[in-house]
Amino acid sequence: MAPYLLGLRLDGRRVLVVGGGHVAQRRVPTLLDAGASVTLVSPSVTPALDDLIADGRVTWERRPYQVGDCDGAWLVHACTNHREVNTAIAAEADAKRIWCVRADDKDASAAWTPASGRVDEVSVAITAGGDPRRAAGIRDAVVGALRDGTVDARRHRTKPVGVALVGGGPGDPGLITVRGRQLLAQADVVVADRLAPRALLDELPADVELIDAAKIPYGRALAQDKINELLIEHARKGKFVVRLKGGDSFVFGRGGEEMIACAKAGIPVTVVPGITSAVAVPASAGVPVTHRGVSQEFHVISVHVAPDDPRSTVDWPGLARSQGTLVLLMGVERIGQLARTLIRDGRSPETPVMVVQDGTLPTQRAVIATLSTVAERVTAAGIRPPAIVIVGEVVRVGQEIEMVRAERVP
């Protein structure tokens, strides 16, 4: 029998996901995007899921599944690696009249997760008799036609070779380039960063190997040498590998190191530039990094080490004397020390500062302060990475823009 297709509005409703592997990693971000209240039951989770848990977006029960976990759920995803466990989960859900999606057996599953995509206000969901690869191919064709006005399925084009370094943009999946999406759709293997647009990963066909290369600040991380080895290893097997990063691969993204490693191994590399968060996030918050008569320069600084760390190569006194905009990446954990350093070296304590968390995403929020108050404000607001710090008079320009907008609202 053909399935009855239905769009579920999950906002605020409890969804149970059992299993913390790569299948769950694909599905949880999509459930969160739909507004679901996700409970994850698993003894362990992938680094990417760990990051969502640390962010407070997912409730993690750190244990195996047990009877009663389905209570109160509107939808259940059985994503463990053990068939008998998935069978037990599905049986409990069925007894309680809760729809359950089994990741391991389409024929035994009461519901299927369609291959889905979204272009502006149009959502596309395809089922193809439970064949995920076929459904993804049809979905790609429809989404591609909606996006660029054609009906050519990207899978029919000549397959690329080697490695593609794709900048995924600042977070919003709509801000990746068309070329980046095209190559991602043709990938055999995707090596994804923590800051790569998560919603794009759920669009990958089921046969694409997803490798989690998350680098969680002060947490788990896959060593860069290991990432280089994985790119080369899979490319040498004849697979097309996409290295998907947040922002741009060459803006504090170690893309240069990966390109050198591939070149030494004789692996061809395609580079697809991405929109860096250093510019996109201030823009999304209504702050221009340059503005006539205010700032004719801006500086992008990585603060992965403190100003007084011997490894720091940043000219902090020079930046403090500059009248340009400062865009600080990876600076939230050291915001107090950064502010004190800039004030000590000459910047006014009243210099405006904006800190933007989750820039370009639905969860984006911002704090406005001065150099003398920013540490206190950030702590009080509970701002955490990923966040961008903007220092300079352009923050006032952003406030002026917001005031004008507010006055224009009828």
**Residue 378 near residue 367, CB atoms below 8 Å:** yes
Q: Which of helix, strand or coil describes residue 206?
A: coil
Helices (H), 168-315: 178-185, 198-201, 224-236, 255-264, 277-284
Number of continuous H segments (helices) and E segments (strands) in the chain: 13, 17
Helices (H), 63-188: 83-95, 132-148, 178-185
Whether residue 215 lies in the annotated active site? yes
What strand order describes the sheet that includes 241-245?
A: 209-212, 189-192, 241-245, 163-167, 269-272
Task: Report CA torsion sign: 105, 208, 76, 141.
Answer: negative
Residue in 131, 109, 124 with CA at minimum distance from that of residue 7: 124
Residue among 193, 202, 212, 248 flagged as catalytic: 193
In Å, what is the CA distance from 267 to each residue of 259, 359, 375? 9, 34, 46
Residue among 96, 106, 215, 239 flagged as catalytic: 215
The answer, yes or no, to whether the previous bond of 317 is cis (omega within 30 of 0) is no
**Residue 76 near residue 18, CB atoms below 8 Å:** yes
Task: Report CA torsion sign: 299, 301, 306, 310.
Answer: negative
At 140, list the tokens: 């790609």
Residue in the structure block whose two tokens are 């750190």: 62
DSSP state of 113: P
Rounded distance, CA 117 to CA 124, Å? Answer: 5
DSSP state of 409: -
Q: Which of helix, strand or coil describes residue 88?
A: helix
Residue in 56, 32, 15 with CA at minimum distance from that of residue 362: 32
Residue in 351, 268, 87 with CA at minimum distance from that of residue 76: 87
Whether residue 193 lies in the annotated active site? yes
Regarding beta strands 325-329 and 298-302, do their DSSP bridges make them parallel or antiparallel, or are they unpaired? parallel
Catalytic residues: 193, 215
